Amino acid sequence: MKAALGALLLLVAGGEAQPPITYRVEVVKSKVLITHSGQERRARINDVALAGDELRTGWFGRTILAVPERTCRFEVFSSTRVRLAGREPGVLVVVERGRLKAIFDALIGNEERLVSTPGALLAVRGTRYGIEVDARGNGTLAVFEGVVEVRPRASGQPRLAVGAGELCQFGPAMAPTRRMMPGGMTEHRWDSGGAMGGMMGRGDHSGAGMTAPGQNPGRMSPPPSHPGGMNGNH
């Protein structure tokens, strides 16, 4: 009787309980803090964070989080605050302020993978892009590969598809607009804080992008190592 009641409750809840999404710390540079259940700790390589945790990087802090269940990776740059997962279905990271690069491998099926910002949701299938959010919640999106769908939070604003080589600016009170990236703008320059970094009035973003040990920065599978990547605590 109890077993039957338990099965019925699962059906009412919408099916079997799904395992929680895990966020594995692959790279740490300088100060990176994870807050879990009100307890803050310094992040270390191979740490596991969970949905609901908050992650903050210091002035020179950077980290890479891998989400194997969703075949994606997030590079979190300095002076950035994010929350892992969100209350909205499909949201993997909530960018509250700062800079983040998202790398999504192709995913089989219809499951959405979203990044949340104060001004819009960003939806993808397989792509890579950078997002920067300022203190007012305004965002600037740079798409390096694939297409990102910008879904504004403000009612009445249409969705906008942003392709590779394009920038898009949006915010809580600003409809999304897109344009081509400025001449000379590359993913490496964005990683280094060049070109786009000054648009948002942010601080120092010096330094190149990071590569996890044994990983190519654009794919979850382990091809040959990427020279110049970081592979440990500093």
Domains of the chain, each with CATH number or no CATH: 20-200 (2.60.120.1440)
Joined tokens for residue 219: 């794919």
> Each residue of 1-37: b (16+ CB within 10 Å) or e?
eeeeeeeeeeeeeeeeeeeeeebbbbbbbebbbbeee
Average pLDDT, the chain: 79
Q: What is the pLDDT at residue 176?
A: 95
Query: Which amino acid, one-letter code, is at 49?
Result: A
> Each residue of 127-157: b (16+ CB within 10 Å) or e?
bbbbbbbbeebbbbbbbbbbbbbbbbeeeeb
Q: What is the pLDDT at residue 47?
A: 95
Greatest Cα pair distance, the chain, in angstroms, is 69
Q: What is the mean pLDDT of residues 196-202?
A: 42
Helices (H) and strands (E) in the chain, counts: 2, 17
Q: Which comes out higher in pLDDT, residue 166 or 191?
A: 166
Three-state DSSP class for 68? helix
Q: What is the mean pLDDT of residues 136-156?
A: 94
Q: What is the mean pLDDT of residues 157-173?
A: 94
Q: What is the pLDDT at residue 108?
A: 64
Q: Are strands 113-116 and 91-104 parallel, antiparallel or unpaired?
A: parallel
**Closest alpha carbon to 84 in 63, 108, 61:** 63
How far, in Å, CA of 82 to CA of 100, rounded? 9
Percent of the chain with pLDDT over 70: 73
Which class for 75: exposed (0-12), middle (13-18), buried (19 or more C-beta within 10 A)?
buried
Residues 18-37: tens digit of each pLDDT = 567 899 999 999 999 999 99
